[in-house]
C-alpha cells in the first residue's frame, strides 16, 4: 500500500505551546473560584476593624472558642469510639446480625445532623413524647438536660461516626485475618494483637475518617443553631443577619478557616499514608472471628443501641410526626420548597460535575506537578464551612455590584440578588465530592487505552467522546448523585445567600426548628432523608463489592 | 522498512538509549530483548511516537517520522500497537474494538474488514462479547486484530504475552507469528523473555543499559555472543578460565579446545589476544557430555530435575563449576563423581578481566 513520503510535520513549538496552555485556561478559573473566598476572608485579618475586633474579643470569642474546643474534643472522642468499635465488629467478627449492621450502620449518613438534632430535642423536650411518657408512667420528672454541651456532642457523634466507621472498616478489611494470625502465632493474645497490630495499621484510615468528621463538626451550622450552642458558624450568622456587620462575620470566618485548615492538613497527610495500608489487600484472606455466647450478645447489643439511637429512633419519629401533620401542613408551598431543592441541587450537581470533569481531565492530559497542585487547591473547598464561603463570596460579589452600579449605571442589586453567590459557594464546597469519583474513575482507565485510541487515529475531543465519557459513565453518575444529595442537605450557604423567595426543604426545616415546631419540621426532613438514602445505598454496594 | 539511526534518549541525567541503530526489512519480525530497565520499551515508544525523540532519526518506508526537531504525531504514523495490558476498550464489544480504528471506511467495508480479522484470529464466535467475558488469550487476539485491522505499516508489540501463563504464552507466540507471517506484516516486539523472542522473531537485538549489545538471529545470539552480557543473558552457561595456545587452540582445564574461529573471539580475533593470553571460554550445558568411560571426573554439586533431563552443576577438580544437561535416565546423587567429555563445536572466548573485576558464572 503506497504511503506518501511524510511531509515535514508541523513544527512542534507552536502547536505544543497552545496544547499546553489550553488545560490551564480551563483550570485556572476553577482554582481561582476556590481561592477567592479564602483570600477575601483572610484579608479581613490583615486590615482589622479595631472596634469590631474588640467587641468580638470581649463578648463573642471567649464563648465561641470554648464551645468549639469542647465540641471538637468531645465529638472527636465520640466518633472514634463509635466508629472504630463498630468497624472492628462488622469487619472482622462474626455474630448474629452482623450482615445487617454491616450496611445499616451507614444509614445515619442519610440523616443530616440538624435533623437528628431536632428529633432528639423534640423527643426529650419537657412536652416531648418520651419525657411525657416517662413522667406519666414512671413519675420521672427530670431527664438529663439534652440542651447542653453533652447533648450536642452526643448528637453530633451519632450523626458523624459513619465517617470513621467507613474508613476504619476499609482499613480493617484490608488487613485481612492473616496479620492477626501471624501476631497470635508469635504469642500475642487476640486482645493484644488488636491493640498492637490491627489498630496501629488501621490508624491512618481512622485518622482520615476522624478528620472528615471534625471538618463536618466545625462546618456544622444547623445542629448547633438548633441547640443554641454558640460556635463560629452561628456567630457568623448572627453577626451578619442580626448585627448586620459583615466585617465581624468576615473576621470570625477568618479565625474559623485557621482551625479548619489545621484539620484539613492532618486529613491530607493521613490520606497520603493510607495508600500504603491498602496495598497489602491482595495478600489478605477473608475470614472472621466467630463470636459466641455473651460476646456475641454484647456485640449485637452495642450495634443495636447505636443503630437505634443514630437512625431507627430519629427516622421513625420523623415519619410519625410527618404523618401526623401531613393532612394539615402539606400544601402547594411544599411543592415549591421541594421544587427549589430539586432545582438548586440539580443545577449545582450539573455545574459541580462539569467542573470536576474539566479539572480531572486537564490533570489527565497534563500530569505535571503544577497541575496536580492546582487541582488539589481547587478541591480544598470541602474543608471550608458553608458559613465562611457565604461570607467569602458575598463580599466580592457585593463589591462587583457596586462597581457595576457606579460605573455602568445598573440599578439596584444585579448579581447579589441572583443565584450567583449561592452557586459559586456550592461549587467550591462540593467540588471535591464530585472530583473524587471522576478522578478515580479516570485513573482506572489505563494510559495504554489512551495510546491505543491514539495509535488508531482517534485523539482529542473524539477520544473524549468515544472512550473516556463512555468509560466514565458510572463514575460521573455517582459523582453527580453524591453531590446532588449533599446539596439537598446543605443548610448554611442556602440559608445565608438564597435570593428572596428561594426557600428550600432544608431552609424550611431550619425555620420550623428555630420556632420549636418539631412536628412541622419533620415533613421536609423526611423528604431530605429519603433522598439522602440514595448515595448511602450506593456506598454500601461499593464497599461490599470491593472486598468480596 | 523501519530504520533507527543513532537514536539516543535521556531523561534528566539518566541516559536511557545510546546510539541505537537497526533496520527491519519488510515482512520481518524484529525483537528488542533485554532485562527490565534496559531501554527497550522507550525505543518502542519512540517508534510509536508517544515519546518525543531527542537525537537520531526514525524512518518508516524511507520517510522520516521522527527527528530531533520534527515528529509525526502517533495517530498519523499508521502503526498498529499491541499493549502489555491489551488496553481493550471495556465498553465496546469485540466487534466494536476491532472496528474502532476503521472509522474512515464506509460501513460495508468496515464490517467486511472486521469479519476478516475475526476469522484471522479465530474469534468469529465471540464477536458480540465484551472484553471482560473473554479469556486472557482471547483478549490478546482481540488486541492483535484491533491493531491489524487498519492495515498498519508496522506492528509494535509491547511484552504481548507477559500476562499469560507459560503454556499459553508459547502456544500463542507461535500462533501470532504464523498470523503475522501469513499477512506479511512487519513487526517489532519488545520482551524480556528470550523464549518468546526466539519463538517470534527473525532478528533479535539484545539490549542492556540503553545499548544494543548485539543484533542478529536467535541462532547467532546463542552460539556467537559478542560480549559477556549477551553470553550471560542468552541461554545458560559458565565462563571457564583458559589460555590461548595458538591461533586456533585454547587450553582449558577440561582439555585443549580446537578450531577456534578468529571471528568468534570477543567480536574480534583470538589472534589479537596473542599466544599465552589468559581468556575465559563460554561453555554451554550442551558442550559437555556425560560419558562414564571418560577419564575426566567431576563431582555433582547440584541437580535440577526437568523431566526429560537433569541439569547438573558439576565441580571440577580445580573448583571451577560447569553445567551439563543429561538424559534423566542418568540419575546421579549429589557428591557422586561422574565422567564427562567436552564436545565444543566452536569456541567463544573473552579476555579474562583483571582480578578485581567480577567474574565467574556467566
- Per residue in A115-145, pLDDT tens? 999 999 888 877 777 777 777 887 777 777 7
CB contact under 8 A, A5 and B62: yes
Contacts of B72 in chain A (CB under 8 A): 6, 9
Q: Where is mean pLDDT largest: A7-21, A291-305, B325-339?
A: A291-305
Answer yes or no: is A141 within a domain.
no
Cα–Cα distance for residue pair B198/A457, rounded to 1 Å: 32
Q: Which of B45, B65, B75 to mutate to test the interface with A (most CBs of A within 10 A)?
A: B75
Q: Which of B100, B104, B148, B184 to mutate to test the interface with A (most CBs of A within 10 A)?
A: B100
d(CA A8, nearest CA chain B) in Å: 7
CB contact under 8 A, A12 and B52: yes
Please identify among residues 3-42 of chain A the ones whose CB lies closer than 8 Å to any CB of chain B.
3-6, 8-9, 11-12
The pLDDT of residue B358: 52
Contacts of B85 in chain A (CB under 8 A): 446, 448
Q: Where is mean pLDDT largest: A45-59, A429-443, B118-132, B313-327?
A: B118-132
d(CA B25, nearest CA chain A) in Å: 15
Q: Is the pLDDT of residue A284 over 50?
A: no
Give the number of beta-carbon pairs within 8 Å between A and B. Answer: 85
Return the CATH number at A26. Answer: 1.10.3720.10
Residue A276 neighbours by CB under 8 Å, 6+ apart: A204
Residue with the larger pLDDT of the pair A45 and A488 = A488
Answer yes or no: is A362 within a domain.
yes
Answer yes or no: is A259 within a domain.
no
Please say whether the beta carbons of A534 and A477 come within 8 A.
no
Percent of chain A residues past pLDDT 70, beyond the cut? 89
Answer yes or no: is A380 within a domain.
yes
CB contact under 8 A, A453 and B100: yes
Cα–Cα distance for residue pair B354/B362, rounded to 1 Å: 16
Contacts of B150 in chain A (CB under 8 A): 456-457
Tell me how many domains chain A contains.
1
Domain that holds residue A414: 18-42+330-514
| Residue A455 in contact with partner chain B when CB distance is under 8 A | yes
CB contact under 8 A, A455 and B74: yes
The pLDDT of residue B13: 87
Answer yes or no: is A264 within a domain.
no
Q: Where is mean pLDDT largest: A6-20, A52-66, A166-180, A353-367?
A: A353-367
Cα–Cα distance for residue pair B321/B319, rounded to 1 Å: 6
Which of B70, B75, B151 is opposite residue A454, by nearest beta carbon? Answer: B75
Answer yes or no: is A374 within a domain.
yes
pLDDT in tens, A62-115: 899 999 999 999 999 999 999 999 999 998 888 999 989 988 998 998 899 999
The pLDDT of residue A8: 36
Instruction: Name residue, grid cell 459583615.
Output: A246
Cα–Cα distance for residue pair A10/A21, rounded to 1 Å: 18
φ, ψ of residue B17 to 5 degrees: the values are -135, 140
The pLDDT of residue A145: 77
Cα–Cα distance for residue pair A265/A211, rounded to 1 Å: 9
Please say whether the beta carbons of A125 and A226 come within 8 A.
no
In the predicted model, residues of chain B with pLDDT beneath 50 are: 262-263, 266-269, 359-362
CB contact under 8 A, A9 and B73: yes
SS3 label, residue B213: strand
Q: Is the dihedral of CA B142, B147, B150, B155 positive or negative?
A: negative
Question: Containing H/E element for A19?
Answer: helix A12-46
Cα–Cα distance for residue pair A435/A475, rounded to 1 Å: 10
φ, ψ of residue A49 to 5 degrees: the values are -85, 115
Confidence of residue A283 (pLDDT cuts 50, 70, 90): very low
d(CA A282, nearest CA chain B) in Å: 17
Q: Where is mean pLDDT largest: A9-18, A199-208, B43-52?
A: B43-52
Residue with the larger pLDDT of the pair A547 and A399 = A399
Confidence of residue A277 (pLDDT cuts 50, 70, 90): very low
Interface residues from chain B to A (CB-CB < 8 Å): 48, 50, 52, 60-65, 69-81, 83-85, 87-91, 100-101, 103-104, 146-147, 150-151, 153
CB contact under 8 A, A456 and B150: yes
Answer yes or no: is A485 within a domain.
yes
Strand stretches in chain B, DSSP E: 2-11, 14-24, 29-33, 55-60, 63-66, 79-82, 154-158, 187-191, 203-208, 211-216, 238-246, 249-252, 255-257, 278-283, 288-290, 297-305, 309-315, 321-327, 337-342, 349-351
Q: Is the pLDDT of residue A176 over 80?
A: no
The pLDDT of residue A397: 87
Q: What is the mean pLDDT of chain A?
A: 83
The pLDDT of residue A274: 54
Find the residue in A nearest to B76 (Cα): A457
Q: Is the pLDDT of residue A267 over 80?
A: no
Q: Which of A2, A450, A452, A461 to mutate to test the interface with B (most CBs of B within 10 A)?
A: A452
Q: How many residues does chain B have?
A: 362
pTM above 0.80, yes or no: no
Answer yes or no: is A124 within a domain.
no
Question: Containing H/E element for A289?
Answer: strand A289-290
Amino acid at each position: 500500500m503506497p504511503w506518501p513520503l511524510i511531509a515535514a510535520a508541523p513544527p512542534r513549538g507552536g502547536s505544543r505551546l497552545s496544547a499546553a496552555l489550553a488545560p490551564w485556561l480551563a483550570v485556572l478559573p476553577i482554582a481561582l473560584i476556590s481561592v477567592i473566598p479564602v483570600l477575601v476572608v483572610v484579608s479581613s485579618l490583615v486590615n482589622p476593624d479595631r472596634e469590631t475586633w474588640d467587641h468580638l474579643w470581649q463578648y463573642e470569642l471567649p464563648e465561641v472558642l470554648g464551645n468549639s474546643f469542647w465540641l471538637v474534643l468531645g465529638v472527636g472522642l465520640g466518633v472514634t469510639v463509635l466508629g472504630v468499635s463498630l468497624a472492628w465488629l462488622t469487619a472482622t467478627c462474626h455474630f448474629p446480625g452482623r450482615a445487617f449492621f454491616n450496611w445499616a450502620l451507614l444509614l445515619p449518613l442519610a440523616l443530616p445532623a440538624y435533623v437528628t438534632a431536632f428529633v432528639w430535642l423534640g423527643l426529650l423536650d419537657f412536652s416531648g413524647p418520651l419525657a411525657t411518657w416517662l413522667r406519666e408512667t414512671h413519675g420521672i420528672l427530670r431527664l438529663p438536660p439534652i440542651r447542653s454541651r453533652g447533648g450536642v456532642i452526643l448528637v453530633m457523634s451519632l450523626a458523624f461516626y459513619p465517617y470513621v466507621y467507613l474508613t476504619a472498616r476499609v482499613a480493617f478489611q484490608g488487613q485481612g485475618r492473616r496479620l492477626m494470625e501471624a501476631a497470635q502465632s508469635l504469642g500475642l493474645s487476640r486482645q493484644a494483637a488488636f491493640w498492637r497490630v490491627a489498630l496501629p495499621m488501621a490508624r491512618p484510615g481512622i485518622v482520615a475518617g476522624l478528620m472528615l468528621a471534625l471538618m463536618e463538626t466545625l462546618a456544622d451550622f444547623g445542629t448547633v443553631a438548633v441547640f443554641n450552642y454558640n460556635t463560629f458558624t452561628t456567630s457568623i450568622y448572627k453577626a451578619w443577619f442580626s448585627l448586620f456587620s459583615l466585617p465581624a462575620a468576615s473576621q470570625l470566618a477568618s479565625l474559623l478557616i485557621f482551625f479548619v485548615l489545621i484539620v484539613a492538613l492532618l486529613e491530607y497527610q493521613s490520606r497520603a499514608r493510607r495508600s500504603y495500608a491498602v496495598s497489602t489487600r491482595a495478600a489478605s484472606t477473608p475470614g472472621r472471628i466467630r463470636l459466641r455466647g455473651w460476646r456475641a450478645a454484647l456485640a449485637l447489643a452495642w450495634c443495636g443501641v447505636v443503630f437505634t439511637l443514630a437512625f431507627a429512633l430519629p427516622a421513625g419519629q420523623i415519619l410519625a410526626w410527618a404523618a401526623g401533620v401531613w393532612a394539615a401542613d402539606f400544601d402547594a408551598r411544599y411543592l415549591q420548597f421541594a421544587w427549589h431543592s430539586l432545582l438548586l441541587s440539580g443545577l449545582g450537581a450539573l455545574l459541580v460535575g462539569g467542573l470536576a470533569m474539566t479539572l480531572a481531565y486537564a490533570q489527565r492530559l497534563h500530569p505535571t506537578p503544577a497541575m496536580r497542585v492546582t487541582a488539589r487547591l481547587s478541591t480544598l473547598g470541602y474543608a471550608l464551612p458553608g458559613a465562611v464561603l457565604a461570607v467569602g463570596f458575598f463580599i466580592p460579589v457585593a463589591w462587583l455590584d457596586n462597581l457595576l452600579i457606579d460605573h455602568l449605571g445598573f440599578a439596584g442589586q444585579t448579581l447579589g440578588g441572583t443565584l450567583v453567590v449561592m452557586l459559586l459557594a456550592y461549587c467550591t464546597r462540593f467540588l471535591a465530592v464530585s472530583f473524587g469519583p471522576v478522578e478515580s474513575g479516570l485513573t482506572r482507565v489505563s494510559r495504554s487505552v489512551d495510546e491505543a485510541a491514539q495509535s488508531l487515529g482517534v485523539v482529542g475531543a473524539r477520544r473524549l467522546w468515544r472512550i473516556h465519557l463512555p468509560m466514565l459513565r458510572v463514575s460521573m453518575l455517582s459523582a453527580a448523585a453524591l453531590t446532588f444529595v449533599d446539596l439537598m442537605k446543605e443548610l448554611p450557604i442556602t440559608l445565608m445567600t438564597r435570593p428572596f423567595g428561594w426557600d428550600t426543604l432544608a431552609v424550611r426545616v431550619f425555620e420550623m426548628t428555630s420556632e420549636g415546631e418539631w412536628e412541622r419540621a419533620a415533613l421536609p426532613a423526611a423528604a431530605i432523608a429519603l433522598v439522602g438514602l440514595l448515595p448511602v445505598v450506593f456506598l454500601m454496594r461499593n464497599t461490599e463489592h470491593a472486598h468480596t | 522498512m523501519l530504520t533507527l539511526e543513532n537514536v539516543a534518549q535521556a531523561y534528566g541525567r539518566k541516559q536511557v538509549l545510546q546510539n541505537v541503530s537497526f533496520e527491519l526489512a519488510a515482512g520481518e519480525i524484529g525483537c528488542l530483548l533485554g532485562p527490565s530497565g534496559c531501554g527497550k520499551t522507550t525505543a518502542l515508544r519512540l517508534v510509536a511516537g508517544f515519546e518525543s525523540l531527542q537525537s537520531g532519526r526514525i524512518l518508516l518506508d524511507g520517510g522520516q517520522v521522527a527527528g530531533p526537531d520534527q515528529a509525526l504525531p502517533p495517530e498519523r504514523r499508521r502503526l498498529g500497537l499491541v499493549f502489555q495490558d491489551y488496553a481493550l476498550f471495556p465498553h465496546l464489544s469485540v466487534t466494536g474494538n476491532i472496528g474502532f480504528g476503521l472509522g474512515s471506511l464506509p460501513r460495508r467495508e468496515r464490517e467486511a474488514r472486521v469479519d476478516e480479522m475475526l476469522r484471522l484470529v479465530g474469534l468469529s464466535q465471540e464477536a458480540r462479547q465484551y472484553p471482560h467475558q473473554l479469556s486472557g488469550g482471547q483478549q490478546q487476539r482481540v488486541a492483535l486484530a484491533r491493531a491489524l485491522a487498519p492495515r498498519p505499516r508496522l506492528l509494535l508489540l509491547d511484552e504481548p504475552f507477559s500476562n499469560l501463563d507459560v503454556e499459553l504464552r508459547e502456544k500463542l507466540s507461535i500462533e501470532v507469528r504464523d498470523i503475522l507471517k501469513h499477512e506479511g506484516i512487519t513487526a517489532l516486539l519488545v520482551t524480556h523473555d528470550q523464549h518468546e523472542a526466539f519463538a517470534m522473531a527473525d532478528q533479535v537485538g539484545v539490549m542492556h543499559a540503553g545499548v544494543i549489545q548485539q543484533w542478529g538471529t536467535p541462532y547467532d545470539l546463542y552460539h556467537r555472543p559478542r560480549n559477556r552480557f549477551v553470553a550471560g543473558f542468552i541461554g545458560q552457561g559458565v565462563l571457564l578460565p583458559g589460555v590461548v595456545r595458538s591461533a586456533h587452540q585454547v587450553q582449558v582445564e577440561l582439555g585443549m579446545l580446537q578450531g577456534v574461529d578468529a571471528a568468534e573471539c570477543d567480536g574480534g580475533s583470538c589472534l589479537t589476544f596473542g599466544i599465552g593470553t589468559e581468556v575465559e571460554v563460554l561453555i554451554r550445558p550442551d558442550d559437555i557430555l556425560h560419558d562414564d568411560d571418560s577419564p575426566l571426573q567431576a563431582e555433582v554439586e547440584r541437580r535440577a530435575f526437568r523431566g526429560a533431563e537433569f541439569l547438573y552443576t558439576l565441580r571440577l577438580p580445580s573448583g571451577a563449576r560447569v553445567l551439563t544437561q543429561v538424559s534423566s535416565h542418568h540419575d546421579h546423587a549429589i557428591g557422586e563423581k561422574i565422567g564427562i567429555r567436552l564436545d565444543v563445536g566452536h569456541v567463544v572466548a573473552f579476555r579474562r578481566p583483571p582480578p578485581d573485576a567480577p567474574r565467574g558464572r556467566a
